[in-house]
Amino acid sequence: MALKAGGFFEKILHRRALRRWAEAARAAETTDLATLKQLRGQARQIRRRIDQLTHVADGRLTLPTIGSNAIQRPLHSDWAYRPQIWRGPIAPFGMASVENKSRFGDEATVFHDCNHSELTLRQIRNRRESDLAPFGLRMDVFRFEGSFLSLAVDLPQEAVGGLKRKHLVRLQTIVETERPLEIFARLNVRHGPNVEQIVRELPLYQDDVMVEFDLAYTKLNEKRVEAMWIDLIFEGPEMNQITLRDVTLSRRPRAEI
């Protein structure tokens, strides 16, 4: 059932609710503790619902449009993809004290070996004129006592349909960091019981952060290709805020000579 926000009775109820919470806020310093505890619980419940509404509303009302598939793809590309985190809203849109192997959305998984996690993830809305992706991913890392931190992104089955050793797979991303760090991208292709892996360091010193994976240098069994995923590996992430404004992948056959 559609919700109508501008009806007469809805406006009256909204004004009453605002007045009630304004009075509760003014009286909070002198309210007895039992009542204050009850009000705090109610306020937190309301805030969670408001945060959910605001997140979805920001997503739908802000450009670029949700689900935008505007991707800078190389000439002759036969596949291009923007993963879910950067394409549309996910729920929950934020996580704190992220544990090892935590799923974020339907495609991404976080891996680390910290005993005590001081890592937070949050999907943010892109609003810059230059952004093609509707959403970005912000990662705040405080104390980090582990030896590795990575984000694995599963790719759809279309990524491996017709995949050949003659293909080049391109990863393009927009990265913002508070402090310099190294980020590596690892392409993984499962074929039968084996997994081919190619690692590239992201050139964060360039405006256009792009790397390519040449499958000609692998032992890929083209007849047994099953799945492909990408790992983003963060070296020395402690006390840093890392924002991935966009991540896209594409593939194209190598030019015949």
Confidence (pTM)? 0.74
Other residues' Cβ atoms within 10 Å of the Cβ of residue 35: 12
Based on its alpha-carbon atoms, the radius of gyration of the chain, rounded to whole angstroms, reads 23
Residues for the chain: how many in total? 257
Candidate from 185-189, 205-209, 214-218 with smallest mean pLDDT: 205-209
Highest mean pLDDT among 36-45, 64-73, 172-181: 172-181
79-253: what CATH class? Answer: mainly beta
Q: Which distant-in-sequence residues (6+ apart) come within 8 Å of 125 by Cβ?
A: 58, 59, 62, 134, 135, 136
Least Cα distance to 141 among 115, 107, 178, 174 occurs for 178
Q: In which band, very low, low, confident or very high, does the pLDDT at 244 lie, cut at 50, 70 and 90?
A: very high
> Where do the structural domains in the chain lie, given as residue ranges?
8-61, 79-253
Percent of the chain with pLDDT over 90: 57
Q: Is the confidence at residue 56, as pLDDT, over 80? A: no
Which residue has tokens 């599963």?
154
Query: Six-digit token pair at 97?
Result: 């004290």
Query: Six-digit token pair at 9?
Result: 């009775």
For residue 250, the cross-strand partners are 80, 170
Query: Cα(94)–Cα(59) distance, rounded to whole angstroms?
Result: 14
- Predicted confidence at residue 255, as pLDDT, reads 72
Give the H or E element holding residue 43: helix 33-61
